[in-house]
Amino acid sequence: MPRIYLTTPIYYVNDVPHVGHAYTTLNADAVARWHRLLGDDVYFLTGTDEHGLKIQRSAEENGLSPIEQADRTSVRFRETWELLDISNDDFIRTTEHRHHVAVQELLTRAYDNGYIEKNVYEGAYCVSCEAYYTDDELVEGNCPIHKRPVEQMSEDNYFFRLSAFADRLEAWLTDTPDAITPDGYRNEALGLIRQGLDDVSISRTSITWGVPVPWDEGHVFYVWYDALINYATAVGFGADPERFETWWPATHHVLGKDILRFHCVYWPAMLLAAGIEPLPRFHVHGFLLVGGEKMSKTGINKIAPAELVADFGVDGFRYALLRDNSFGPDSEFSYEALLGRYNSDLANNYGNLVQRVCTVVVKQCGGVGPPPRPDSPLAVVATAAYRETAEAWDRFQPAVALDATWRLIRETNEFLARNEPWKMEPGPEVDAIMGDALEALRIVCILASPAVPTASATAWARIGMDGAVGEQRLPEAAEWGQYPGGSAIGAGDPLFPRLKA
């Protein structure tokens, strides 16, 4: 059975989730759901990143201990993912015992292999990024991401010999065209490697909120080198070698472009240093921008997912965010754009199709769904829509996949508008048209379910289909002609009521 291990970044617990975090998690969730439809064995991980100075300081500001701060905020992420119907199989917290064990094991292997050594570090540090910057990376003396002042730090550190891996990393990226998608981000990672890689500091003595360095008490691992290892922890690294070997070769990391350097350069090198292969695959997306600026916890432009769910519903928010913001480039987030998407694609198209089909079958076909015609004009449309949808999910392009699925919805609506079955007398002609429309709708419910799981389940039941829509198996389930005919069709409230501006 094909297998896929999908991860999101683990989110910092200094503040509650915003729509930018939801964007990453939703894209990963939709892909995970697609792979379950394919019958793949899926393991989908998300979680929270709880160590480091950033968390320690925000705890102090809130009058809490770091673990209290982490407990309170981690649960907010969990609740948000439940609200958004995220289908994760696991939720990892870096403060868990299983993670400490894995971090110490992986970094001890790298140390034993001679890739970690002690030295003094001095440099400019951004607490929001939890990262050191060289002087020429700073913008007017400020952090290039947060545009805020950096701090000068100096400490005795363990260093990871990143420079030792430049050639192997370059060979990996040139030999593996799909190591990082979309391709522009592979070029970006190659650029970073070709610019030259300096060794990096991976431990701190100035803080205590972290995983202790097992061979030198008084040092804790610097938050990024603890955090990245969560991906290995969750599939059993350091605890269950058989489980780890089962999942690791199928690893796909989803992340925003802000953390490309850590994921696509440092993490593969750490894995090689610990003797772990094959290297994972990476899927990188751009920023959701508000007024041209990245939506961020420190900015005033952050929006809570719950605010949008209140207006659009869970499925409405899921669909509009995925469809309107392509995976890869930066994308301007706008409420008006989401509203436009919701009304055009959900209220006027998907919702309208379900409503029309059910109403006409109730009125003109005695409430019993007729079977489709094998030679329906919609059969070729459905076949092409499936092919394009599957191909786009495979390339990690949810917006393109949904566009292909929605073509089948639009064409089915047009087919009905052309034939006007609502004007016909009951009889074989109207049955033939409605059988075709029901079959197209059956396929749509399956293909749309990764983005709109609840509405698709409702539509599935309304057209009289048995079982769960999410348990259908592709590609067989997308083949034309399987609508059984003879099922009772239920009418109901609109799935996506039209919203006013």
Residue type, 241: P
Strand ranges (E), 143-187:
151-160, 180-181
- Alpha carbons 364 and 25: distance in angstroms, whole number: 44
Picking from 474, 421, 419, the residue whose alpha carbon sits closest to that of residue 446 is 474
- 294 binds ligand MSP per the rule CB under 6 A: yes
Please confirm, yes or no, whether 129 is among the known catalytic residues: yes
Please confirm, yes or no, whether 264 is among the known catalytic residues: no
Stretch that binds ligand MSP, among 3-11, 181-189, 234-242, 337-345 (CB under 6 A): 3-11
Picking from 365, 360, 358, the residue whose alpha carbon sits closest to that of residue 490 is 358
Bridge partners (DSSP) of residue 152 are 124
Number of chain positions touching ligand MSP (CB under 6 A): 21
CB of 221 to ligand MSP, least distance (A): 13
CB of 290 to ligand MSP, least distance (A): 8
Kindly tell me which of 146 and 407 has the beta carbon lying closer to ligand MSP: 146
The residue from 253, 297, 358, 365 that is catalytic is 297
Stretch that binds ligand MSP, among 286-294, 385-393, 437-445, 480-488 (CB under 6 A): 286-294
CB of 229 to ligand MSP, least distance (A): 8
- 143 binds ligand MSP per the rule CB under 6 A: no
What distances in angstroms separate CA 400 from CA 6, 34, 112, 186, 326, one per listed residue? 20, 14, 46, 20, 8
Number of CB atoms found within 10 A of residue 150's CB? 23
Give the one residue of 271, 295, 361, 441 binding ligand MSP; rule: CB under 6 A: 295
Please confirm, yes or no, whether 143 is among the known catalytic residues: yes
Picking from 42, 49, 43, 51, the residue whose alpha carbon sits closest to that of residue 21 is 49
CB of 436 to ligand MSP, least distance (A): 41
Picking from 385, 451, 431, the residue whose alpha carbon sits closest to that of residue 412 is 385
CB of 136 to ligand MSP, least distance (A): 23
- Alpha carbons 85 and 87: distance in angstroms, whole number: 6
What distances in angstroms separate CA 200 from CA 3, 192, 206, 269, 285, one per listed residue? 34, 14, 17, 11, 25
Give the one residue of 132, 222, 287, 319 binding ligand MSP; rule: CB under 6 A: 287
The residue from 54, 100, 257, 294 that is catalytic is 294
What distances in angstroms separate CA 363 from CA 68, 320, 354, 418, 485, one per listed residue? 59, 32, 14, 19, 16
Kindly tell me which of 227 and 478 has the beta carbon lying closer to ligand MSP: 227
Give the one residue of 5, 23, 132, 342 binding ligand MSP; rule: CB under 6 A: 23
Give the one residue of 5, 12, 172, 480 binding ligand MSP; rule: CB under 6 A: 12
CB of 108 to ligand MSP, least distance (A): 19
- Alpha carbons 439 and 423: distance in angstroms, whole number: 21
Sign of CA dihedral 366, 369, 373, 377: positive
Kindly tell me which of 100 and 356 has the beta carbon lying closer to ligand MSP: 100
- 161 binds ligand MSP per the rule CB under 6 A: no
Span 36-65, contacts to ligand MSP by CB under 6 A: 49
- 33 binds ligand MSP per the rule CB under 6 A: no
The residue from 100, 143, 253, 257 that is catalytic is 143
Q: Cα torsion at 98, 103, 104, 109 (round to 10°)?
A: 130
- Residue spans of alpha helices (H) in 342-397: 352-364, 377-394
433-448 b/e (C-beta count within 10 Å ≥ 16 → b): bbbbbbbbbbbbbbbb
Picking from 137, 3, 18, the residue whose alpha carbon sits closest to that of residue 73 is 18
Give the one residue of 228, 273, 445, 447 binding ligand MSP; rule: CB under 6 A: 228
- 24 binds ligand MSP per the rule CB under 6 A: yes
Kindly tell me which of 229 and 408 has the beta carbon lying closer to ligand MSP: 229
Picking from 162, 193, 197, the residue whose alpha carbon sits closest to that of residue 179 is 193
Give the one residue of 4, 5, 6, 10 binding ligand MSP; rule: CB under 6 A: 10
Picking from 433, 483, 436, the residue whose alpha carbon sits closest to that of residue 463 is 483
Please confirm, yes or no, whether 297 is among the known catalytic residues: yes
Please confirm, yes or no, whether 302 is among the known catalytic residues: no
Bridge partners (DSSP) of residue 368 are 488
- 11 binds ligand MSP per the rule CB under 6 A: yes
Contact 248, 276 (CB under 8 A): yes
Kindly tell me which of 133 and 415 has the beta carbon lying closer to ligand MSP: 133
The residue from 51, 99, 100, 129 that is catalytic is 129
Span 168-227, contacts to ligand MSP by CB under 6 A: 227
Span 372-411, contacts to ligand MSP by CB under 6 A: none
CB of 31 to ligand MSP, least distance (A): 14
CB of 306 to ligand MSP, least distance (A): 17
- 361 binds ligand MSP per the rule CB under 6 A: no
Residue type, 429: E
Kindly tell me which of 8 and 343 has the beta carbon lying closer to ligand MSP: 8
3-state secondary structure of 242: helix
Span 245-274, contacts to ligand MSP by CB under 6 A: 255-256, 258-259
Please confirm, yes or no, whether 253 is among the known catalytic residues: no
Interacting residues with ligand MSP (CB under 6 A): 9-12, 20-21, 23-24, 49, 227-228, 230, 255-256, 258-259, 287-288, 294-296
Catalytic annotation, residues: 18, 21, 126, 129, 143, 146, 294, 297
